[in-house]
Amino acid sequence: MHPAFAKACHYLRIEHRRVPVGPDLRADVEAMAALIDDNTVLLVSGATCCPYGVIDPIPALGQVALAHDLPCCTSTPASVAGCCPGGSASASRCRRGTRVEA
């Protein structure tokens, strides 16, 4: 997740909740679902994790968002390709036609 989300939460006085990652360094879908309550306004996931280049389980997180009628924001490789190795690797794999698993 981009640090701008934490900064926005700070300025807007919104509680910022973080979920643990699994052994594969991807977001824990069950943990994210467990944190949702009536005050939840957005789920955030990453199509790349800058240090490791892994992709969160976007389809599963999207299903959680749909089930709770919440928006889900996903940072995409195109938006971070210029500033992180993981984004650059994922973006170049997409351009070459390599399937990038979510």
Give the predicted TM-score (pTM) of the model: 0.71
Exposed e or buried b per residue across 61-80, where buried means at least 16 C-beta atoms within 10 angstroms of its C-beta? beebbeeeeeebebbbbeeb
Pick from 82, 102, 81: which is nearest to 91 by CA?
A: 81
Model pLDDT, residue 55: 87
Q: What's the average pLDDT block by block, 10 residues per block, for the chain (102 residues)?
A: 85 93 92 96 82 84 94 71 50 47 53
Distance CA 98, CA 19 (A): 29
